[in-house]
Amino acid sequence: MEQGKQGVMVAKLSPNQNPIEQLQVRYKLLETQFKTWLTKQSLPVEAAIVTITSAAQGAAIGAFMGTLTNDGGSPFPTPPQANLNPQAMASLKQAQALSGGPFVQARNFAVMTGVNAGISCVMKRLRGKEDVQSSMVAAFGSGAMFSLVSGMGGPNQIANAATSGLFFALVQGGLFQLGQKFSQPPVEDTYYSKTRSMLSNLGLQNYEKNFKKGLLSDTTLPLLTDSALRDVKIPPGPRLLILDHIQRDPEFKGKRGK
C-alpha cells in the first residue's frame, strides 16, 4: 500500500503536470480529508464548525460587495420626515440592509450563509439525506435571521422575519428543484457512478476519462487487472491504488474470483 501511495505522489508531483492541476489535486485531497474528519465529530461540533467557516466565507463576500458602494455607510440617508411614517421607515431600512457598506454587508452575508449552512448540517445529520425539505428549512432560518439582524423588520419584526423566511424558503426550494433537474447526469454516466466515486475518494478523478475510453464501467470493476488499466494509459502509481482499493472493498472482494 505504501508503494501505491508513493506512486500517486510521484504522479501528482510530476513535472509534466500543470501546476494549477497540482494545486487543484492537493486542495481536493485536503478538502476530502477535512470532510472525512468532520463527519466523525459530534453533531454540535460539526454544526458549529460548518456555521463558523460558512459565516466567515459569507462575511468575506459581503465585505467585498460592500466595497462597491461609495462609502462605509449606507448610501441611503435617513430623511427626517421618514420618522413620521413607519412604512417609509421600513422600506428605507430594507434598502439600507441591501446596500450598506463593507461592514453591513459582511454582517448580513455572514448571517445568511452561516445560519443556512448550520441548519443544513443539522438536518442532514438528523435525516440522513439532503433534500428539498431540508434545504427549505435552512433557507427559512437564514431568511428570518437576516431580517432580524439587518433591521428590515420595521415595527413588526417577528411577522416580517417569518415573511422573509418564507420567501427565502420558496426561492431556495425552487432553485433546489431546478438544480436537481439540470444536474441529472447523462444516461451513459450512470454506468460509471461507482467508478467516479472510487476515483474521487482516491483523488484520481482526472482518470475517469481513461475508464470511459476503455469502456471500463462499474460492472468491470471486480475484473480489473494491471494490464487492463495499463491499456487505458493509467500510470503505475494510480494503478496500484485502484487495484488495492478494489481488493480491499468488501463489495468487490467476493466477485474477483468469479
Domain positions in the chain are 24-71+88-183, 192-254
Q: What is 192-254's CATH topology?
A: DNA polymerase; domain 1 (1.10.150)
Residue scoring higher pLDDT (72 or 68): 68
> Dihedral sign, CA of 185, 191, 194, 198?
negative
Predicted confidence at residue 170, as pLDDT, reads 92
- How far apart, in Å, are the Cα atoms of 53 and each of 17, 18, 57, 146, 186? 31, 29, 6, 18, 34
What's the CA gap between 176 and 183, in Å, rounded? 10
pLDDT average, residue stretch 13-28: 71
Give the ranges where 183-217 is alpha helix by DSSP (H).
Answer: 193-201, 208-213
pLDDT average, residue stretch 104-127: 89
Question: Is the pTM for the entire model greater than 0.85?
Answer: no
pLDDT average, residue stretch 84-104: 56
Q: Indicate the length of the chain as a whole number.
A: 258
Residue scoring higher pLDDT (182 or 246): 246
pLDDT digits (tens, 9 = 90+) for 28-40: 888 888 888 888 8
- How far apart, in Å, are the Cα atoms of 193 and each of 35, 189, 225? 20, 7, 20
